[in-house]
């Protein structure tokens, strides 16, 4: 009587190994693609939070250096842009002082913000009343650009009216 042996031949084992290798290569490739983009949503969220921090700080300032505390009566001079004299961020007291501010994110006192390494900000302020249906001198546009790691750029804009 002959005994029957069951099992896989060498050819079947080689074919199985090749099929599993191809499948694993596809899965690893998909994971690599997903992992490479996993930081994008995190950077977007951080950029929005950073923009909110800066915009809140800027929009709480007076419209112009000559605007009285409380904003009344409103400033009636020509729209001017830029800090007065040698002001630094800690002493900025009106919206247009932030024009030209660039660099790494920091607090108003100059200390670094944790969690934002590799980010940079750039702020431009312009007289833009006509863009919102007012005379040119009656509103300022604040353009905030945030560059995240990987050179992703996020742009934010707000208007501050003279009131």
Q: 98-121: per-residue pLDDT in tens?
A: 999 999 998 888 888 888 888 999
Q: Which two tokens stand for residue 18?
A: 């090749």
**124 pLDDT exceeds 90?**
yes
Q: How many residues does the chain have?
A: 163
pLDDT of residue 1: 59
2 or 124, higher pLDDT? 124
Strand order of the sheet with strand 120-127? Answer: 102-103, 120-127, 139-148, 152-161
Among residues 86, 83, 77, the alpha carbon closest in space to that of 58 is found at 83
How many C-beta neighbours within 10 Å does residue 80 have? 16
> How does pLDDT run across 6-31, given as a tens digit for each residue?
777 888 899 999 999 999 998 888 88
pTM of the shown model:
0.72
Whole-number percent of the chain with pLDDT over 90:
36
Residue 48 has pLDDT above 70, yes or no: yes
- Determine the straight-line distance between the first and last CA of the chain, rounded to whole angstroms: 106
Give the pLDDT score at 37: 64
Q: Which of 33-37, 84-88, 96-100, 104-108 has the lowest mean pLDDT?
A: 33-37
């Amino acid at each position: 009587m002959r005994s029957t042996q069951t099992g896989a031949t060498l050819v079947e084992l080689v074919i199985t190994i090749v099929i599993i290798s191809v499948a694993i290569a596809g899965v690893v490739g998909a994971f690599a693609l997903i992992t490479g983009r996993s930081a994008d949503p995190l950077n977007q969220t951080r950029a929005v939070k950073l923009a909110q921090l800066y915009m809140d700080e800027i929009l709480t300032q007076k419209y112009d250096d000559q605007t009285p505390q409380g904003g009344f009566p409103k400033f009636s001079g020509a729209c001017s842009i830029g800090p007065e004299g040698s002001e630094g961020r800690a002493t900025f007291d009106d919206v247009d002082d932030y024009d030209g501010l660039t660099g790494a994110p920091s607090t108003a006192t100059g200390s670094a913000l944790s969690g934002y390494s590799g980010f940079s900000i750039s702020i431009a302020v312009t007289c833009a009343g006509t863009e919102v249906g007012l005379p040119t001198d009656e509103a300022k546009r604040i353009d905030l650009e945030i560059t995240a790691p990987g050179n992703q750029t996020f742009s934010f804009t707000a208007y501050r009216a003279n009131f």
